[in-house]
Amino acid sequence: MKCSTFMLGPVLLAAVVLGAQAQSPSTIKIISSLPHTGSANAQTMTMVNGIKLAIEEVGGKVGEFSIVYEPWDDASPERGQWDPAVEAANADKAVADPDIMAYIGTYNSGAAKIAMPKLNQAGLLMISPANTWPGLTKPGVGEPNEPMVYRPSGKVTYFRVVPADDIQGLVAAQWAQEMNCNKVFILHDRELYGQGVASMFQKTAKKIGLQVLGYEGIDPKASNYRSLVTKMKQKRPDLVYFGGTTQTNAGQIAKDLRAGGLNVKYMVPDGCFEEAFIRSAGASNLEGNTFITFGGVPGDKLTGKGKEFYENYKKKFGNEPEAYAAYGYECGRVVLDAIARAGKKDRAAIVAACAATKDFDGVLGKWSFDANGDTTVKTMSGNTVHNGKFEFVKVFGE
Amino acid sequence: MGSEDAEDQREGGRELMTDSEVLLQQVIIGLSNGMIIALIALGYTMVYGIVELINFAHGDLFMLGAFLALTIAGALGLDAVSEGALFSWGILPMFVAAPIFCGGVNWCVDRLAYRPLRNAPRLAPLVSAIGVSFVFLNIGLLWGGLPMEVFNMGQTAAAPKDFPALVSNENLLGESDITLTISQVLVFVITVPLMIGLSVLVRFTRLGKAMRAVAQNPVAARLMGIDVDRVIGATFIIGGALGGVASVVYALYNNTIYFQMGFRVGLDAFTAAVLGGIGNLPGAVLGGLVIGMIRALTDQYIATEWTNVMVFAVLILVLIFRPAGLLGTHAQEKV
């Protein structure tokens, strides 16, 4: 896996150079840019599988066009997660290849910030199965210059099929209150995603009257958080909320809470809703007192089209899809649908067709894209960990 | 403690920890973390003392030691200790294998990457060390991708790995708000005798004398009949072995390892070595403890965001007023 990534670079470069001449009018290329070198790999591989499944369902063909799909990696071994330099290179590569009509990605919101303006300038469709930073699409919730800074051409070319974090932070704080946790201590990993969702949590918590005992950005590479746990212990919170991911040490915090003798509830966002989180934290440290919010519902709780997907996935790949696999699949289907409705190999036409997606029969029911490029789906689920596995608790916001 | 205990504490209206209890707790945490840093810092400082090379690969060597320990845990099928037990005997093979492995690898690195450059300009071995560090980093990444249960069957090579709690994390002080775990005690039980042993070795044995001689003047030492390359090789073995012990202690204390941990821990340890006076053994230990304490106290009394800033601010302050470090003297008492 890792070695092939290194080899892939030159090969792809050669392909781009050759592709400029050998452009075939009847082939449309779709690529995905997701982190495969890193702990998110298990999650992102199932997203790639989801995309493959969507393409396979239409027999790899839309109208007269045959669809070619390539999964690209936007992570580097030095960082162990997404790398700004690699993401930028991916975006440039995609723009330069006239066969590429859709860019599925990214996984991390920070990576999206880099790719979005580049792809927007080129008028290339970008659709994310996992970005949740609200500012990417919604005016007035993120930085003052968001989201226009990502749209140099002035047009909306970026879409996402997942609900954003303004909803997730809200739901998480409300859930905390429902569980009678009135005193919360909030931590975040100082990254766009983690800090974003933590600040949404904080805002809602204050609004609904929870007592926020502290709000601190941790060092995601620290060897442990025992000192921080001691500090929190003194304030006796009912719940510790961590805005962060498996890669930014969500597991270590769970361990140090237990080892430091702070037996409180621990809530994390969907960046931790993956097998790797349970693996790195150790199942016994999470048992019964860990709560995870997720935009959508877990695979085995899906209904309708989603249920169909879940069963086909298991049949084809022989394992359980991770939480975001359904969104990879959804992205694939939306892209294929947009290409079909555009009816021609033209980036602008395909973007326009995608923006016009309406009452789409998706894995979470019927939904449309709004003017910002956001899905109208607002379904969130709450999950916990039991016997080393995620366990579905309830659905919010339907 | 079960969750009922936590309920009792909250609802039974027990007092919050007093300020002095909090301070004591932070001192325990700071010293435990500092001891681990110190143990690794010794590896940096010994090598620097004798060949004036900053062995940047040392942190990553330490990481490999931890991966070896986890592999042993996986091979022996070791699981977290059951309630009541203090530790698992499975840690013994780790404490034997990791130092031998790290010492051996460190010797090989010196033989292959540094010794041929002994008379080259000083930057050459430094660049070589950075190269070795990258090689180790990628070996760690590949190692984490092995199809073993402890590595999640290799599906997530780069993910943090759970290291089973082979030493109990239960509070020795029972119901007290202050936590002192066996794993913390272990840190001291292992590191303090090692440090004493090392200073005895350097001060009173033939090898130690030879090391000090080479550190002071390699040419003169060679003229006196000391096999300089052998002495340097021995230094690398000892420094590496200390890193190996540190890796097991780290893994047992933090219960998480990942392929990039060598960089951060190595940076802390290197900083500790410089803070204490690079080349000076007690200095490295002091530097490690100081950094551990700064980290703990900043987390408690300022904010986590400032922890790294504080460590380097103190480093800069010390270097301004004592350029040779806390205990460093110019070129005299190296190693």
Mean pLDDT within A89-109 = 94
For residue B16, being part of any structural domain is answered with no
Asked if A235 and B16 come within 8 Å (Cβ–Cβ), the reply is yes
Written as six digits, the tokens of B46 are 């010994």
Mean pLDDT within A53-74 = 93
User: What pLDDT, in 10s, does the model give residues B79-111?
Assistant: 888 777 788 888 999 999 999 999 999 999 999
Q: Which amino acid is at A151?
A: R
For residue B1, being part of any structural domain is answered with no
For residue B147, being part of any structural domain is answered with yes
Asked if A279 and B265 come within 8 Å (Cβ–Cβ), the reply is no
3-state secondary structure of A163: coil
Q: Which residue of A224, A277, A322 to mutate against B (max B Cβ within 10 Å)?
A: A224
Residues of B in contact with A82 (CB under 8 A): none
**Weakest mean pLDDT among A53-57, A114-118, A378-382:** A378-382
- Any CB–CB contact under 8 A between B138 and chain A? yes
Mean pLDDT within A93-114 = 94
Q: Specify whether the CB–CB gap between B248 and B95 falls below 8 A.
A: yes
Average pLDDT of every residue of chain B: 88
What is the secondary structure of B134-197 as a DSSP string? HHHHHHHHHHTTSS-GGGGGGT-TTSPEEPP--B--SBTTTT-SS--BHHHHHHHHHHHHHHHH
Q: Which residue of A46, A188, A223, A278 to mutate against B (max B Cβ within 10 Å)?
A: A223
Quickly count: other Cβ atoms within 10 Å of residue A180's Cβ. Answer: 9
Asked if B296 and A246 come within 8 Å (Cβ–Cβ), the reply is no
Give the single-character DSSP code of B329.
-
CA distance A222 to chain B (A): 7
Q: Specify whether the CB–CB gap between A377 and A164 falls below 8 A.
A: no
Question: Is the pLDDT higher at A124 or at A261?
Answer: A124
Q: What is the dihedral of CA A152, A155, A157, A158, to 10 degrees?
A: 70
Mean pLDDT within B13-30 = 83
Residues of A in contact with B304 (CB under 8 A): 216-219, 228
Mind spelling out the 3-state secondary structure of B288-321?
HHHHHHHHHHHHHHCCHHHHHHHHHHHHHHHHHH
Q: Which residue of B134, B162, B177 to mutate against A (max A Cβ within 10 Å)?
A: B162
> Edge-to-edge strand order for the sheet containing A61-62?
A61-62, A65-73, A27-34, A100-105, A125-128, A158-160
Asked if A38 and B255 come within 8 Å (Cβ–Cβ), the reply is no
The pLDDT value given to residue A188: 95
Asked if A226 and B160 come within 8 Å (Cβ–Cβ), the reply is no
pLDDT over 90 for what percent of chain B? Answer: 65
Across the A:B interface, residue pairs with CB atoms under 8 Å apart total 148
Asked if A259 and B169 come within 8 Å (Cβ–Cβ), the reply is yes
Residue A76: its H or E element: strand A75-76
The pLDDT value given to residue A303: 83
pLDDT score of B40 more than 70: yes
Is the ipTM higher than 0.90? The answer is: no
Nearest to A39 among B159, B177, B255 (CB): B159
Cα–Cα distance, A67 to B255 (Å, whole number): 46
Q: Which of residues 234-263 of B touch A (CB under 8 A)?
A: 250, 253-256, 258-261, 263
pLDDT score of B6 more than 50: no
Asked if A42 and B177 come within 8 Å (Cβ–Cβ), the reply is no
Domain that holds residue B70: 38-168+176-270
The pLDDT value given to residue B333: 47
A308: nearest Cα among A294, A326, A296: A326
Mean pLDDT within A20-44 = 81
pLDDT score of B238 more than 90: yes
Residues of B in contact with A231 (CB under 8 A): 22, 299-300
A109: nearest Cα among A134, A89, A85, A88: A134
User: What pLDDT, in 10s, does the model give residues B258-282?
Assistant: 998 999 899 999 999 999 998 889 9
Asked if B162 and A251 come within 8 Å (Cβ–Cβ), the reply is yes
Q: Which residue from A minimizes the CA distance to B19?
A: A234
The pLDDT value given to residue B14: 52
Count of domains for chain B? 1
pLDDT score of B334 more than 60: no
Mean pLDDT within A129-158 = 89
pLDDT band of A2, cuts 50, 70, 90: very low
For residue B285, being part of any structural domain is answered with no
Quickly count: other Cβ atoms within 10 Å of residue A72's Cβ. Answer: 23
B10: nearest Cα among A215, A264, A230, A257: A264
CA distance B144 to chain A (A): 11
Residues of B in contact with A225 (CB under 8 A): 299
A108: nearest Cα among A220, A194, A7: A194
Residues of B in contact with A255 (CB under 8 A): 254-256
pLDDT over 90 for what percent of chain A? Answer: 61
Which residues make Cβ contacts (< 8 Å) with residue A306, sequence separation at least 6? A297, A299, A326, A362, A363, A364
Asked if B254 and A233 come within 8 Å (Cβ–Cβ), the reply is no
For residue B160, being part of any structural domain is answered with yes
- β B161-162/B256-257 pair status: antiparallel
| Cα Rg of chain A (Å, integer) | 21
Domains along the sequence of chain A with CATH: 2-163+302-367 (3.40.50.2300), 165-295+380-396 (3.40.50.2300)
User: What pLDDT, in 10s, does the model give residues A343-364?
Assistant: 999 999 999 999 999 999 988 8
Q: Which residue of A4, A37, A39, A286 to mutate against B (max B Cβ within 10 Å)?
A: A39
For residue B326, being part of any structural domain is answered with no
CA distance B327 to chain A (A): 27
Residues of A in contact with B145 (CB under 8 A): 1-2
Q: Specify whether the CB–CB gap between A321 and A297 falls below 8 A.
A: no
For residue B251, being part of any structural domain is answered with yes
User: What pLDDT, in 10s, does the model give residues B44-86?
Assistant: 999 999 988 999 999 999 999 999 999 999 999 888 887 777 8
pLDDT band of A23, cuts 50, 70, 90: low
Question: Is the pLDDT higher at B13 or at B124?
Answer: B124
For residue B195, being part of any structural domain is answered with yes
Asked if A282 and B255 come within 8 Å (Cβ–Cβ), the reply is yes
Q: Which residue from B minimizes the CA distance to A279?
A: B162
Residues of A in contact with B171 (CB under 8 A): 261
pLDDT band of A398, cuts 50, 70, 90: low
Q: Which of residues 150-169 of B touch A (CB under 8 A)?
A: 152, 155-162, 164-165, 169
